[in-house]
Chains A and B, each alone.
Chain A
Amino acid sequence: MPDRERVGLVVNGEPRLVEVEPRTLLVHALRDGLGLTGTHVGCDTSQCGACTVLVDGKAVKSCTLLALQAEGSEVTTIEGIADEAGLHPVQQAFVEHHGLQCGFCTPGMILTALDLLSRDPDPDERTIRHALRGNLCRCTGYQPIVESVRAAAEALR
């Protein structure tokens, strides 16, 4: 059994220490180590994007990253984007535009959308679809998700 070690991450703005094995994936460090179960595991084969979080502002699939690779990084999960005033504008847009049904893909969709909107505050439909290509949804048919992201972009501008 390889040694367990402690990895320091800044998760949703707070410095945290998690005990991991070298092989521990970031998603398990977040879910099992820190109890942040808003990050989902869908496919576990790097395809579906349900596990997407932001690492230093960039969307990554946390099932395909060792926790140790993220040491010292800022990690943002779905739990970290709302504030006292209420839901984040992207979350609010998903609520208003039916951007979710079962909600399983939603955390990943929203965090990928945040990466997109940080680069492009006014993406057209094609750009949104291209950016969300690594996020699969089995429920919505994507159209309301695209509309949610467009509405969110407008709300954020």
Chain B
Amino acid sequence: MIPAPFRYHRATSLEDALDALAEPDAKALAGGMSLLPLLKLRIGRPELVVDLGRLDLAGIERANGSLEIGALTTWDALSRAEELRGGGLDAIADCAAGIGDLQVRNRGTIGGGLAHADPAADLPAVAVALGLELVVRSANGERTIPACDFFQGPFATALSDGELVTAVRVSTPPTGSGSAYVKVEHPASGFALAGAAALVTPAGDVRIGITGVGGAPALVHGEDELVELEVYGDRFAGEEYRRHLARVVVRRALERARSRAERSSG
């Protein structure tokens, strides 16, 4: 399978990328782990592919009270990042380590994963549970979008045409917090049939993000809210079974987050 013809531009700077993406029918390419399969199936047929791969947008930086993860940081880098271990942020590394396979984690990026907004993707659950913020750039300047406003449905986000995610901002949870991500995965694809990220704080706040069960990630604040969760069924997991899986992953994620919180508060 070979993609339909397109022109290729390797962006040399963020400004250059934004310029190129101003063209109608241009598509950004990060790790290519979602885009290239779509182009090969010819579900996508852009005129121009703008390769972000050489931009200096990978890596994790500490700012006051928060971390900024560059949009091109790979799943592999996230799964091994010391900065994301302990301190209530383990859910990010849990999630990154469980994505697809080694080859996919070597190429796939956090920015691409969020922008793609696959309803069965893992990170959206973590993004809403930890309250991540997306830093977004366009020709008109920069804005930040909270994860809870970012996901609007299957493969639909709050990004406008020509906008790029440049970084993901993570505010550090209060000392003594714990978080975890747990999924039951589709045995062939690795995507979540149901996945849950839980964050618990010493003050007793609970935030749970759930993916794989609806068009966009859901945010709930306790297991009792799961009765109201909207769940869809398909040939891999019917509605009732998927709802059951959602309960199971939520409980496991909460248990793991709580035990991490206990350990971190010593």
Report A's interface with B, CB cutoff 8 A.
1-2, 21-25, 28, 44-47, 49, 52, 58-61, 63-66, 68-69, 71, 112, 115-116, 131-135
Contact = CB atoms under 8 A, between A and B. Distances in A.
Contact of B188 (A21, A47, A112, A132): A47
Contacts of A45: 1, 37, 40
B32 interface: yes
Nearest to B190: A133
Given A64-B33, A66-B8, A134-B101, 4 more contacts: A47-B189, A68-B10, A68-B51, A69-B51
Interface in B1-60: 1-8, 10, 29, 32-33, 36-37, 39-40, 49, 51, 53
B103 interface: yes
A49 B101 contact: yes
Interface in B96-146: 100-104, 106-107
A134 B104 contact: yes
B103 A22 contact: no
A49 B105 CA distance: 13
Given A23-B2, A25-B2, A45-B1, A69 B103 contact: no
Contacts of A2: 5-7
B102 A65 contact: no
B51 A64 contact: no
B4 A23 contact: yes
**Which one of A1, A24, A25 has the highest number of Cβ atoms from chain B below 10 Å of its Cβ?**
A25
B8 A134 contact: no
Nearest to A49: B103
A96 B209 CA distance: 48
A68 B3 CA distance: 14
B5 A22 contact: yes
Interface in B224-256: none
Nearest to B51: A69
A68 B107 contact: no
Interface string B165-208: 00000000000000000000000111000000000000000000
Select the residue from B6, B29, B102, B190 with max chain A CB neighbours within 10 A: B102
A59 B106 contact: yes
A2 B106 CA distance: 29
Contacts of B8: 22, 66, 68
A66 to B, nearest CB: 7
B5 A1 contact: yes
Contacts of B102: 59, 112, 115-116, 131-134
